[in-house]
Amino acid sequence: SPDNTLAELVAVLVGRYGPEMERVLSVSAFLVGDELTRDVSRASGSAVDILPPFAGG
């Protein structure tokens, strides 16, 4: 639901896929609409892209 928070989405994914998913999501960014965020307290919107780390530094 667009009214849910990203934290609620994270909880569902971790519940379904376990601790490895939690590790990945803890270092991921989220693209909500056209806004990039790491703030899991914000509303999830109707579409969320999860961007895990993909480049070395």
Domain boundaries defined on the chain: 6-47
pLDDT one-digit tens code per residue, 3-17: 799 999 999 999 999
Nearest to 45 by CA among 56, 37, 57: 37
For tokens 């965020």, the residue is 37
How many whole angstroms from its chain centre is CA 45?
Answer: 12
Total count of residues recorded for the chain: 57
Question: Which tokens is 31 given?
Answer: 């693209």
**Is the pTM value of this prediction over 0.85?**
no
Question: What pLDDT, on the 0 to 100 scale, is given for residue 54?
Answer: 83
Residue 48 is predicted with a pLDDT of 93
Give the pLDDT confidence of 23-39 residue by residue, as tens digits.
Answer: 999 999 999 989 999 99
Element containing residue 24 per DSSP (H, E): helix 19-26
